[in-house]
């Protein structure tokens, strides 16, 4: 089925064109528009194969509209339907698929549709289409944003982006997944230095390219537009951050022998801070939140490992925490206790000295009195401190 929209400034001419196309068959008229801007908005909302476009319209120019359409998506076929033959050379320079002179006949239009259908049938084989529909992709948000195609395959490759802003917009939509965000908010966050008209043009171009990537991927993503808002619907756990949130926000972060494996798996998703390598200003608040959540997860996992006397695993959790924030007094004190439990006085001394030096060089201060006292007790006193203090 060929999905078509019709654009011209005379409604009777559009009605006639619609009737002629319907008689040919295998055509779905998705919309008719008397203003090119309205047609372009439709292109951004739905996948369209062909635009039948008049050239001379009051207040508008079909050649310029075609350039805009091709800029949004070079894969859209444009058919000019006009009473003027002298635009033909300029039209075909835009790589339009046909140039139809008025008065139009069903016989002439059938040739146009045949050409379009032949071009479509020369696309990817059916076997590839079926394979594509079963692929599953994943968004990576901890560290650098990536969209990984066919995530279940042995070899995976990230989606390639034509521009950095197209990639940033996709990261932004994933960040706000399943939530509508106004167009104005998107422009403010991603194109803050552009005026509304220019920013909107860039937004429309990026939206359309993202829609095409989603359509070619075969996953269950849906990019919606409603009441001047956009939303990426994901319907599942298609990202590392979604999996992380599922556990962290469950309200019951009680770690047991049965659940420690799942918590360890979730912790391993946190390769680096949220979108840290991209430096997106709009992600900073979420970045701090996820860092705080990760630190709390590591605390709880360390407590569990201490309770089962797996001191090496507890040490690993606390070291991971200190990589995120080396100034946490309670974590540094726990490290001293762990080394005491392990009977590793050298590591205890080295850790205390590194912490003391760090505080002095970075903050111009010294450890808390409680930390100094704890080190003194553990290093010079009874190493077998009551385990409940750990």
Q: Smallest Cα–Cα separation from 163: which of 206, 119, 215?
A: 206
- Tell me, what's the pLDDT at 84? 81
Token output for 279: 């430096």
What CA–CA distance (Å, rounded) separates 52 from 5? Answer: 6
Residue-wise pLDDT tens digits, 33-89 = 998 888 888 887 778 889 999 988 877 788 888 888 877 777 789 999 988 877 766
Strand order in the sheet with 222-226: 181-182, 229-233, 222-226
266-272-276-278 Cα dihedral, nearest 10 degrees: -90
Question: Looking at residue 72, what is its pLDDT?
Answer: 73
pLDDT at 229: 92
Where does the chain have alpha helices with state H? 11-24, 36-45, 62-72, 88-92, 106-121, 126-133, 164-175, 183-190, 196-217, 240-248, 260-269, 284-307, 311-324, 329-342, 345-358, 369-380
Q: State how far the Cα of 275 lies from the Cα of 85, in Å rounded to an integer.
A: 53
User: Is the Cβ–Cβ distance between 338 and 314 less than 8 Å?
Assistant: yes
pLDDT digits (tens, 9 = 90+) for 154-184: 556 788 898 999 999 999 999 999 999 999 9
d(CA 268, CA 76): 43
Cα separation, 200 vs 202, in Å, equals 5
Contact 331, 322 (CB under 8 A): yes
Give CATH superfamily name and number for 243-389: Tetratricopeptide repeat domain (1.25.40.10)
Q: Is the pLDDT score of 107 beyond 50?
A: yes
Q: What DSSP line would sit under 25-58, residue for residue?
A: -SEEEEEEESSHHHHHHHHHHS--SEEEE-SEET
Per-residue pLDDT reduced to its tens digit, 317-367: 999 999 999 999 999 999 999 999 999 999 999 999 999 999 999 999 999
What CATH number should be reported for the domain whose range is 2-121?
Answer: 3.40.50.2300
pLDDT of residue 149: 77
C-alpha 65/C-alpha 5 separation (Å) is 13
Q: Where are the domains of the chain?
A: 2-121, 134-233, 243-389
Mean pLDDT of the chain: 86
Among 260, 258, 249, 322, residue whose Cα is nearest residue 286? 249
Mind giving me the DSSP string for 289-307?
A: HHHHHHHHHHHHHHHHHHH
Q: Residue 128 above 60 pLDDT?
A: no
* Chain centre distance of CA 9: 38
Which residues lie below 8 Å from residue 196, measured CB to CB, with a gap of 6+? 187
Average pLDDT over residues 119-124: 63
Q: What angle do CA 84, 63, 33 make, to 5 degrees?
A: 90
Is domain 134-233 in CATH 1.20.120.1200, yes or no?
no
Residue 133 confidence (pLDDT) above 90: no
């Amino acid at each position: 089925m060929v999905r078509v929209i019709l654009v011209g400034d005379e409604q009777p001419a559009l009605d006639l064109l619609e009737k002629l196309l319907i008689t040919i068959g295998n055509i779905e008229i998705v919309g008719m528009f008397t203003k090119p801007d309205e047609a372009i908005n439709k292109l951004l909302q739905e996948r369209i194969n062909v635009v039948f476009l008049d050239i001379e319209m009051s207040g508008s120019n079909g050649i310029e509209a075609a350039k805009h359409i091709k800029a949004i998506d070079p894969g859209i076929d444009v058919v000019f339907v006009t009473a003027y033959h002298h635009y033909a050379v300029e039209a075909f320079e835009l790589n339009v698929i046909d140039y139809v002179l008025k008065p139009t006949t069903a016989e002439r239009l059938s040739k146009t549709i045949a050409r379009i259908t032949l071009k479509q049938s020369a696309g990817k084989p059916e076997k590839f289409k079926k394979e594509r529909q079963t692929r599953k992709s994943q968004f990576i948000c901890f560290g650098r944003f990536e969209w990984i195609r066919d995530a279940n395959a042995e070899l995976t490759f990230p989606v390639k982006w034509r521009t950095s802003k197209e990639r940033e917009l996709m990261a932004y939509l994933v960040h706000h997944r399943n939530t509508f965000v106004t167009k104005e908010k998107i422009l403010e966050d991603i194109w803050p230095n552009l005026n509304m008209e220019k920013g909107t043009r860039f937004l429309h171009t990026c939206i359309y390219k993202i829609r095409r990537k989603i359509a070619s991927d075969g996953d269950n993503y849906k990019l919606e537009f409603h009441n001047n808002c956009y939303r990426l619907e994901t319907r599942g756990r298609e990202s590392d951050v979604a999996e992380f949130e599922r556990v962290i926000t469950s309200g019951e972060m009680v770690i047991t022998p049965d659940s420690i494996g799942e918590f360890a798996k979730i912790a391993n998703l946190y390769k680096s801070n949220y979108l840290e390598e991209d430096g997106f200003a709009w992600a900073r608040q979420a970045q701090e939140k996820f860092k705080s959540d990760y630190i709390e997860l590591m605390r709880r996992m360390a407590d569990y490992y201490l309770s089962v006397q797996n001191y090496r695993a507890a040490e690993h959790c606390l070291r991971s925490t200190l990589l995120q924030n080396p100034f946490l007094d309670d974590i540094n004190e726990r490290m001293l206790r762990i080394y005491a439990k392990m009977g590793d006085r050298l590591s205890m001394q080295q850790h205390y000295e590194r912490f003391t030096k760090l505080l002095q060089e970075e903050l111009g201060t010294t450890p808390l009195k409680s930390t100094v006292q704890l080190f003194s007790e553990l290093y010079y006193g009874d190493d077998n401190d009551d385990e409940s203090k750990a």
